[in-house]
Amino acid sequence: MIRIGIVGFGVVGQGFVELLISKKNEVSKMIGDFKVEFIADSKSSISGDFELDEALKLKKMTGRLKDDKKPQELVEDAEYDVLIECSVTKLEGGDALRYIKTALKKGSHVVTSNKGPLVAEFEELMKIAEKNDVKLMYEATVGAAIPVIRVAKGYLKTFTIKSVYGILNGTCNYILSRMEEEGLDFNQVLSEAVELGIAETDASYDIEGIDAAIKLVILANTVGIRAKFDEVYRKGISYITPEAFRIANEKDYTIRLVAEASKDKLSVAPRLVKKSHPLSIKGTMNVVVFKTEEAGELYLAGRGAGKYETASAMISDMVHIYAPSS
Amino acid sequence: MIRIGIVGFGVVGQGFVELLISKKNEVSKMIGDFKVEFIADSKSSISGDFELDEALKLKKMTGRLKDDKKPQELVEDAEYDVLIECSVTKLEGGDALRYIKTALKKGSHVVTSNKGPLVAEFEELMKIAEKNDVKLMYEATVGAAIPVIRVAKGYLKTFTIKSVYGILNGTCNYILSRMEEEGLDFNQVLSEAVELGIAETDASYDIEGIDAAIKLVILANTVGIRAKFDEVYRKGISYITPEAFRIANEKDYTIRLVAEASKDKLSVAPRLVKKSHPLSIKGTMNVVVFKTEEAGELYLAGRGAGKYETASAMISDMVHIYAPSS
């Protein structure tokens, strides 16, 4: 019986539990029986004997779970084999960093969608996992369901990766593609994006390239390039004008926020991109390109965010821990 | 000590051996020591104590290897843990089908780049592998180094795949993109492609969609859609005119040879594709799109063929058999 603990019960956490319910039979066939021992959000929790449906209903109707026990307490004291960590990303790691370390040191696997702890202490976390002979899985942190981490760490481990680059922020890509297509002004598209829920009211995290830089740091470390957030050269998209698109368009180019990591380069900045190039992808999509010595460039693309997009990556990560083969 | 047998010593087989030499240390670190027990092409072979360099030189200088022993004999009598099968694809399976069955029944793993045996007897081969508790790996058969099989069988096993579609033949895509860009006639581009070595003198295998249909059958079976070659609706590209491209272009569309498999559809045919869609990729590239219930469409793209592109997929497959994790 695999015992699961869940910390973070917002959009992603709820998506994970919903998928766990709908995929119960398939997942059990792959990894054997499992049981969720506890679910905690930042202020409340549920543990012991409870139904997953009940927890979802409670959260949706009351905004909280039934007990006052805090996540740290459960992460420390409960018994579980794998911790599903989906609390909100904080650049310096936040409480989640402590949850993850506690779980790994107890000998539990961790599956996280939280970029903060990884960008803060990538190397240290990997060492703790290795030392305790457990896995720290984080597919959901970059490109939601696009299997960039799995491909980088698994399939490509026999390849020489010269660099990795791509479109890592869907909000910026949405804004830039609408500016390209409709000749609109940056601020106009941004305010529409906020209305549509594609951008946050404080959009600086996205439009200044912070989110893309965080993901780049995770990707870089994944392919063996030691990188820290402060080392990323970073330029946002707010100064880009409709004129810039017009000039680019004359030569069949467009403008995209491109993140790139290689041995000599760590950068997030707007770049001219040929309209026929896969990086010229439109809307909220993400693309990751691995430049390999053996096989040229390999492209992976898909939606960059979303409830089930992110949660389904975590389900796959969890199953992979127990059934890595094929 | 992992014992390797190699059948097929053309471009791909030689590429595999070259990579095995250059990656000896890394591969050993991942799977432990290994040794190539024999290499066979259709008419000659080398086995016992020999250097890989020696075999490559011999083949390059004399066009053959040193002994007269035939592949079937070695596949039957030699002792090996994994067979690397890279002889030439024949639609009905050919001799390679016998080699692969023999190896699997002996309890050896098989890594193949050969589409023939898989398209002829996919289900039966998988059953033989399962019964003998060995793996049959075939990443190199579809899209060279693009990890479509690994992603489909590994990462996506927890997803619901509604359909799979894409550009599976680089030669057709090269011809169509040149027709699109330069307004040229089909036959003119084809003869230039033959001169450049991108198309065979007898190009019917590519331009009639046979190669794409073969790969589609392999992909379909991989994602659980039972499919046989004869069931694929197939239409080639030779009748496509520059006028068709002109008309498509007016609406911002282009034409591509699209292969698609779902529960209700198995088809390889030219289709109108939006120029902003990832399927509109240019040149000899391949794209595979998995349409999932949980996360929308996931795209994988890269070079569709090539010596090291194909051989590097086989190296990754071989390592995955012994070191599936991470």
What structural domains and CATH numbers belong to chain B?
Answer: 2-143+307-322 (3.40.50.720), 156-303 (3.30.360.10)
pLDDT level of residue B90 (50, 70, 90 thresholds): confident
Task: Please answer yes or no on whether A295 and B309 come within 8 Å at the CB atom.
Answer: yes
Nearest chain A Cα to B19, which residue?
A294
CA distance A134 to chain B (A): 11
Which among B23, B154, B159 is the nearest to A312, CB-wise? Answer: B159
Query: What span, in angstroms and rounded, lies between the C-alpha atoms of B11 and A301?
Result: 30
Query: What span, in angstroms and rounded, lies between the C-alpha atoms of B101 and B80?
Result: 14
Which among A30, A298, A306 is the nearest to B145, CB-wise? Answer: A298
Task: Please answer yes or no on whether B299 and A294 come within 8 Å at the CB atom.
Answer: no
Query: What span, in angstroms and rounded, lies between the C-alpha atoms of B175 and B180?
Result: 9
Mean pLDDT of B222-234: 97
Mean pLDDT of B274-282: 91
- In sequence order, the β-bridge partners of residue A296 are A292
Nearest chain B Cα to A29, which residue?
B158
Q: In terms of Cα–Cα distance, which of B73, B71, B79 is closest to B114?
A: B71
Contacts of A157 in chain B (CB under 8 A): 30, 316, 319, 326
- In sequence order, the β-bridge partners of residue B4 are B36, B82
Nearest chain B Cα to A159, which residue?
B312
> A181-237 pLDDT, tens per residue?
999 999 999 999 999 988 888 899 999 999 999 999 999 999 999 999 999 999 999
Q: With a cut of 70, say whether residue A79 has pLDDT above it.
A: yes
- Tell me the catalytic residues of B: 215
Q: With a cut of 80, say whether residue B235 has pLDDT above it.
A: yes
Contacts of B30 in chain A (CB under 8 A): 157-158
As given in the structure block, the two tokens for residue A165 are 């680059």
Task: Please answer yes or no on whether A151 and B150 come within 8 Å at the CB atom.
Answer: yes
Mean pLDDT of A104-122: 97
- In sequence order, the β-bridge partners of residue A136 are A110
Contacts of A309 in chain B (CB under 8 A): 294-296
For testing the chain B interface, which of A158, A287, A290, A315 should be mutated: the one with the most B CBs within 10 Å?
A158
- pLDDT value at residue B326: 59
Query: What span, in angstroms and rounded, lies between the C-alpha atoms of A322 and B264?
Result: 33
Task: Please answer yes or no on whether A147 and B158 come within 8 Å at the CB atom.
Answer: no
Give whole-number Cα distances, A264 to A220, A227, A231, in Å.
Answer: 12, 11, 11
pTM, two decimal places: 0.97
Strands B109-112 and B82-85, by their bridges, are: parallel
Nearest chain B Cα to A275, which residue?
B276
Q: Residues B264, B266, B269, B275: is their CA dihedral positive or negative?
A: positive
Task: Please answer yes or no on whether A158 and B276 come within 8 Å at the CB atom.
Answer: no
Neighbouring C-beta atoms of residue A50, cutoff 10 Å: 17
Query: What span, in angstroms and rounded, lies between the C-alpha atoms of A79 and A108?
Result: 9
Termini Cα distance of chain B: 22
- pLDDT value at residue B92: 82
Task: Please answer yes or no on whether B154 and A153 come within 8 Å at the CB atom.
Answer: no
Q: Catalytic one among A59, A101, A135, A215?
A: A215
> A154-185 pLDDT, tens per residue?
999 999 999 999 999 999 999 999 999 999 99
As given in the structure block, the two tokens for residue A151 are 């491909």
CA distance B82 to chain A (A): 16
Task: Please answer yes or no on whether A315 and B158 come within 8 Å at the CB atom.
Answer: yes
